[in-house]
Amino acid sequence: SQTIHQWPATLVQPVGSPLSLECTVEGTSNPNLYWYRQAAGRGLQLLFYSVGIGQISSEVPQNLSASRPQDRQFILSSKKLLLSDSGFYLCAWSVVAFETQYFGPGTRLLVL
Amino acid sequence: AQTVTQSQPEMSVQEAETVTLSCTYDTSESDYYLFWYKQPPSRQMILVIRQEAYKQQNATENRFSVNFQKAAKSFSLKISDSQLGDAAMYFCAYRRGNDMRFGAGTRLTVKP
């Protein structure tokens, strides 16, 4: 069966520090991958999606970036975190692009 | 731009009773998909039910069913025989192509 992992589960970072969140999927090949952010009390906002290795589409301009160095690995990065980057980050995958998505456990990021 | 509105920030239901969560959306398209996701305290997003706009028949998954009113752009979720484990945030989502949008969520409390 397929599983999706995210780490770390919780992260506290100072403003201006770099960020790297990792997401990996097991049990499937060539998944479509997504990064979402959920601000407190809000719905999900799609940040990036990838339909294949090295292919990244950005939905929202910001100081975050994403990379897909391997088929089942999706990384969310930032060179300098802002206070507004605080939130809950969810990674998801799907078999068909933007069809039924399966979400990971999420990473709670607090920028101080 | 397509928007998804969940007008009920919070709802409560007695165990074993039925509850309906509301969702409306704004689109000028005729072909799209609608979803309900559940986010329990663990924060992981879980797909509850999915509806294709071209299908007139309402989707059903065990105790969960939807009332899809395409002309009214309404997509409500009915939970029958509510269980304590149903307590969670519920998010309505709209997708057309690469455009995926989520509502702000409804927090459901189940009273024993």
Residue pLDDT, tens place only, A47-103 = 999 999 989 998 876 789 999 999 999 999 999 999 999 999 999 999 988 888 899
Task: Tell me the per-residue pLDDT of B72-101, one tens digit each, with 9 for 90 and over.
Answer: 999 999 999 999 999 999 999 999 888 888
Measure in Å the smallest separation between the Cα of B17 and chain A Cα atoms: 26
Answer whether B54's CB lies under 8 Å from B5's CB.
no
| pLDDT value of residue B3 | 87
| pLDDT value of residue B14 | 97
Distance (Å, rounded) from C-alpha B6 to C-alpha B76? 9
- The gap between the terminal CA atoms of chain A, to the nearest Å, is 38
The closest alpha carbon to A108, from A4, A14, A6, A34, belongs to A6
- B43: contact with A, CB 8 A cutoff: yes
- The gap between the terminal CA atoms of chain B, to the nearest Å, is 41
Q: Which residues of A touch B59 (CB under 8 A)?
A: none
Locate B90 and state its tokens: 């519920």
Measure in Å the smallest separation between the Cα of B53 and chain A Cα atoms: 13
Q: Do A105 and B43 touch (CB under 8 A)?
A: yes
Residue with structure tokens 């990379």? A67
Distance (Å, rounded) from C-alpha B66 to C-alpha B111? 22
The DSSP output letter for B73 is T
| pLDDT value of residue A59 | 82
- B28: contact with A, CB 8 A cutoff: no
Q: Do A98 and B45 touch (CB under 8 A)?
A: no
Q: Do B50 and A44 touch (CB under 8 A)?
A: no
Measure in Å the smallest separation between the Cα of B14 and chain A Cα atoms: 24
Half-sphere exposure (CA, 13 Å, Cβ side) for B70?
14
Q: Which residues of B touch A49 (CB under 8 A)?
A: 98
Locate A71 and state its tokens: 């088929």
Locate B79 and state its tokens: 């939970």
Task: Tell me the per-residue pLDDT of B22-53, one tens digit each, with 9 for 90 and over.
Answer: 999 999 999 999 999 998 887 788 899 999 99
Q: Which residues of B touch A91 (CB under 8 A)?
A: none
Distance (Å, rounded) from C-alpha B59 to C-alpha B64? 9
Looking at the partner chain, which of A41, A46, A100 has a beta carbon nearest the beta carbon of B50? Answer: A100
